[in-house]
Amino acid sequence: MDPYLEAPTFWSGFHTKFLMAIHQKLAAELPANYYIEIEQHVWLEDSELETPTPYKPDIFVADGEGGTTTAARTRRLTKPTLQVDLDPSVSRRRRRYLKIVDIRKSKIISVIELLSPSNKKMGEDREKYLKKRDHYFRSGTNLVEIDLLRAGHRLPLGHPQLEGADYVLLVSVAAQYPKASLWALSVRDPLPSIPVPLKPSDGELALDLADCFTGVYEVSRYAHRIDYSVPPVPSFQKADDTWARKLLASGKTARNGKR
């Protein structure tokens, strides 16, 4: 990850293009009976609510309920930093009926959320996201949550608590809930390959975040648009600032694919 992309000038465009890169990479690997969609409303139907509640995941993977099932190919996965037990605000032991469907009535299997600054700032937007997140857990939906923002308040990540990470990736497999996997990264670490779970019978897909990032970075020409002579916002920690200065002085930046 390039920490300079967290600046408001770049983040909105990067957020959209990074999601598109993830969409394209997974679409090429999905088994025939699945499809993937980006930023489309789905409805949470709860037996205790008269009106379904609409939500819009950044990306969702759905079982099209047709075609031939082919087990997903898993490769080049990076081991998680640690396993955690999430602290659900809604217990899945309640016998409430909840399902997630899109307008075609296909079953939503997994969702991918790329966090925005508003998700990490105390207030209404954060509360809305946490509510949506709880619905994912309660409905038995796989969740992949990608936090590439150093600023703001970290979302609840369960126990043991994570300290000192710049970026955090969460993969919650519905069949293993409330246990989940975390990848904790510093600004010095390469982005890993993480699993995107499908139905238990179909396994998981490997999502190479570094490949997605590199493609977006190069096509968008960020190397020529970002002023690396000034500190990023938020600023580096002291040790990371020394490392970054040496890296930039050596010429090993994202311009030549070695950042």
Report the pLDDT value the prediction gives residue 99, as an integer from 0 to 100: 45
Pairing, β 142-147 against β 167-172: antiparallel
pTM of this structure = 0.86
SS3 172: strand
pLDDT tens for 38-72 read 988 776 655 555 566 678 899 999 987 654 455 55
86, 157 contact by CB (below 8 A)? yes
pLDDT tens for 105-120 read 578 899 999 999 999 9
* Distance in angstroms (rounded) separating the CA atoms of residues 165 and 253: 22
Q: Kindly report the three-state secondary structure assignment for every residue of 54-121.
A: EECCCEEEEECCCCCCCCCCCCCCCCCCEEEECCCCCCCCCCCCEEEECCCCCEEEEEEEECCHHHHC
Burial call 103-117: b when 16+ CB within 10 Å, e when fewer: eeebebbbbbbbbbe
* Distance in angstroms (rounded) separating the CA atoms of residues 134 and 28: 29
Where the chain has pLDDT below 70, the residues are 43-53, 65-75, 88-105, 251-259
Pairing, β 142-147 against β 107-114: parallel
* Distance in angstroms (rounded) separating the CA atoms of residues 136 and 143: 7
Place of tokens 């082919």: 70
**In whole angstroms, how far apart are CA 16 and each of 113, 193, 215?**
12, 20, 13
**In whole angstroms, how far apart are CA 77 and each of 12, 73, 157?**
28, 11, 21
